[in-house]
Structure 1
Amino acid sequence: MKRLSILGVTGSIGTQTLNVIKKSKGELKLIGATANSSVNKIIEIIDEFNPPYVGMMNLECADEVKKYCIENDKQTTVFSGIEGLNKIASLDEIDIVMTSLVGMIGLEPTLEAIKAKKDIALANKETLVVAGELVMSEAKKYGVKILPVDSEHSAIFQSLRGNDLRTLKKIILTASGGPFRGKKLEDLKNIQVEDALKHPKWNMGRKISIDSATLMNKGLEVIEAHWLFDCDYENIQVVVHPESIVHSMVEYSDASIIAQLGAQDMRLPIQYALNYTERKNLIADTLDFYEVSKLTFEKPDLQTFKPLLLAYKAGKIGGLMPTILNGANEAAVELFLNKKIKFLNIADIIEKSMEVFKSEIDKPLTLKNIIDLDKRVKEYVVSSI
């Protein structure tokens, strides 16, 4: 049996991880789980899975959950705040941590888990985007596995397995193209939030759905792939693949290309990461190639979807520039979701922030500096509208 904590248990990845646990026939056990403020969902999880520990970021919500546990004789200890996240990420009783939080909030508990020598099932892109060098260095120091959960990085991870990394020539990251594939700038001037949330293939959270619509999601994945697989940015290629059947590919020095294909079901990479190095029984639908019929590939439009271009730029500059990119994007997406800016303003805000804060990029890459800069970038974005 593998015992795990899930950081961000009520989100899309967290919910699907619970489904994987239910279908594991006792081979996976939930020990700890965290949420922000979803009291009712956490209570349902306590009732069904009986985790010994839960954490709530919101202090008032933590008190509500504690009250429920006392009144219903639940043997669940409730933690709160960032200290609670860190505690549940580093419990003695667990083997692996699913980090499915969205945004910068995932960085500190991930580092705490690594220091506690817990393997990481990584579904939080921002952790490697803003602190890839720090996280991978700590993972190496403590002998911890970083197991990718994003479908694209899981595909690369699987395609590399058993091969000599020195023969890796290129990583090919596939992208669905999002809801606005084929559109030009003129078409995107009056895009509404509801339009941007309608992803054609995947069921994702609100923030990630907007990132997919701008192609920033793919940009963050480029930076993540750089750190996960020690691959130069020049050798990471994004290819638009609207069918979302090929989850990503790897090209080797002899020009052979190995791809991982599968249904559009995040439970597949979740199951693979949690059970690594084993493959478990069928959990999703199999592909019917007669029904698939064809696979198409296109070049991304970097002028219309500028966030992808900015992500490449930030990654190549390095240092704290990806922190600036990520912070500005998180703040801009939040403003768009709240209907305070237009869709195309997101890219403009990111680009301006990278220019305004460029003098900061060579500061030491420490947790304190990352958190401080992220905060200041977000404050700048909000104050500038």
Structure 2
Amino acid sequence: MTDATTARPRRVILLGSTGSIGTQAVDVIRRNPDRFEVVGLAAGRNLELLARQAVQLQAPVVAAAEGTEEDLARAIGQAADRAGAAAYDPELLSGPQAASALAARPADVVVNGITGAIALEPTLAALRAGTRLALANKESLIIGGPLVQALAAPGQIVPVDSEHSAIAQCLRGGGPAEVRRLVITASGGPFRGRSRADLESVTPAEALAHPNFSMGRVITTNSATLVNKGLEVIEAHLLFDIPFDRIEVVVHPQQMIHSMVEFVDGSTIAQAGPPRMLVPIALGMTWPERIPDVDVPVDWTKAQSWEFEPLDDEAFPAVALARRVGEAGGTWPAVYNAANEVCVDAFHEGRIGFLDIVDTVAQVVEAYAAEPGSGVSDLTLVDVMAADAWARREAEAQL
């Protein structure tokens, strides 16, 4: 696994550069030019923003999943003209495999901020290349668990999710044998405290009104259903090798504590900070080093109250369902994730209600038990993608 030295900036490949994680990573990089050198950028369809970033950072390789290389070259030329920049002629990649091809290039760290299951192949490409992976895309680890684990060297994956970054930071205070349980915090989303009956009339606009974070449509909706927290439970199990019965979820509306580790002697270490992603992103790129003044700390001179509540599994059954598929392993998490992505789209298209999202995912999971491939343990990428495709078809059939 490659790593940076203190003699030169860390070479960074940034996947999903135009999304929430990507734009914040660009902010950290631009504020710390002596620490980072961007050697590649990849995004999906937002060519205008990708081009602006490429010109600002002078990335030598730029990749786009959608559009042609000619489209990308045109966007970069226009961005350079608007910025009054000198001639800039990067290598261009385009198409569905562009991000994977870029992730395989030499670098010190690949930040995977792509949303959804499509990030699995870039994750595998970075791991095969021996590059440290700052993983903000939980889906690629969850659906490809054994594949990812088989490729990853010890310490090669650094979590960027705020909850898992918090756990990784807390675990520096004790070894694996000293851990009693992991405690993952959840804001409770915009519907905390509502009963199942109260959730029947939830609208897409209401589901996107997260109380603390600004995120993309899928992740924000997953936070409202708590599917996101279910995925995080599976991710924590895979990252830290802690059994599911020793991973708890607690609702903490303020999200000032990002997660905690309880140790066998009864002590608990918690990682606290504002409900923003700057610190986890920066740590993902510099682990185990910290960058000064990445974010502002908690102001302990001000009076404040932090609340903690148990999770309501009746109103929000997504976490319990995630535990079931996580314990089943194999291709089951891929089915859970893919079915949810279809249902989230259907909800925002007005085809189903809010409660139907997780209810339909549960129906797809139940239906998968009868499928011949449901018991696969020695996974291949073909197995994972086949399960993903089956779940998407089944979810559409259930809608």
The answer to whether TM tops 0.5 is yes
Three-state SS of the structure 1 residue aligned to 2:375 is coil
Distance in 2, Cα, partners of 1:89 & 1:291:
44
8 A contact 1:69–1:76 mirrored in 2: no
Aligned: 1:278 with 2:289: yes
In the TM superposition, what are the counterparts of 1:62-141 in structure 2 within 5 Å?
Answer: 62-69=69-76, 73-92=87-106, 94-140=107-153
Cα displacement (A) at 1:70:
6.4
Which residue among 152, 159, 174 is the counterpart of 2:163? 152
- Equivalent of 1:208 in 200, 212, 219: 219
Answering whether residue 382 of structure 2 is matched by residue 368 of structure 1, we say yes
What letter matches 2:24 in structure 1?
Answer: Q
Contact 1:118 1:144 in 2 (8 A): no
Q: Which string of whole-angstrom CA distances, capped at 9 and with x for unpartnered residues, describes residues 294-346 of structure 1? A: 21110010111111111111111212111111111111111112222110000
For 2:230 and 2:47, the matched residues in 1 are separated by 33
How far apart are 1:82 and its partner, in Å? Answer: 2.9
Q: Is the 8 A contact 2:158 2:284 kept in 1?
A: yes
Q: Which runs of 5+ in 2 are unaligned?
A: 1-8, 81-86
State how far apart, in whole Å, the 1-side matches of 2:155 and 2:177 are: 22
Which residue identity is paired with 1:66?
A
Residue number among 261, 272, 276 corresponding to 1:261 in the alignment: 272
Q: Are residues 1:315 and 2:326 paired?
A: yes
For 2:301 and 2:310, the matched residues in 1 are separated by 26
The C-alpha deviation readout for 1:325-368, integer Å capped at 9, x for no partner, is 11111111111122221100001110110011123321231111
User: Which string of whole-angstrom CA distances, capped at 9 and with x for unpartnered residues, describes residues 141-162 of structure 1?
Assistant: xx66100001100000000015
For residues 1-385 of structure 1, what are the structure 2 equivalents within 5 Å? 1-60=9-68, 62-69=69-76, 73-92=87-106, 94-140=107-153, 145-291=156-302, 293-358=304-369, 359=371, 360-363=373-376, 364-385=378-399
Tell me the distance in 1 between the aligned counterparts of 2:386 and 2:123: 18
Q: Give the residue type in structure 2 aligned to 1:384.
A: Q
C-alpha contact 2:47 2:75 (8 A) present in aligned 1: no
Contact 2:166 2:259 in 1 (8 A): yes
Which whole-Å deviations, capped at 9, do the CAs of 1:12-70 have from their partners, x for residues lacking one? 0000000010111321111111111101101111221110111111134x431123456
SS in 1 for 2:201: coil
- Between the aligned partners of 2:344 and 2:90, the Cα distance in structure 1 is 35
Conserved in 1, the CA contact under 8 Å of 2:66 and 2:96?
no
Q: Tell which deviates more after alignment, 26-35 or 7-16.
A: 26-35
**Following superposition, which runs of at least 4 residues in structure 1 exceed 6 angstroms of deviation?**
none
Distance in 2 (alpha carbons) for counterparts of 1:374 and 1:150: 23
Change (3 A) 1:300 1:84: same
Alignment RMSD: 1.4
Offset of residue 83 of structure 1: 2.3
Percent sequence identity over matched residues?
A: 37
Does the C-alpha gap of structure 1 residues 293 and 69 become closer, same or farther in structure 2, counting only changes over 3 Å? Answer: closer
Query: Tell me, what secondary structure is at the counterpart of 2:309?
Result: coil
Alpha-carbon distance in 2 for matches of 1:218, 1:23: 31
CA distance in 2, matches of 1:127, 1:109: 9
Q: 1:23 to 1:254 in 2, by over 3 A?
A: same
Aligned partner letter, 1:299: P
Structure 2: how far apart are the matches of 1:139 and 1:122? 12
- AA at the equivalent of 1:131: G
- Counterpart of 1:209, as a letter, is T
Matched AA of 1:56: A
Aligned length: 381
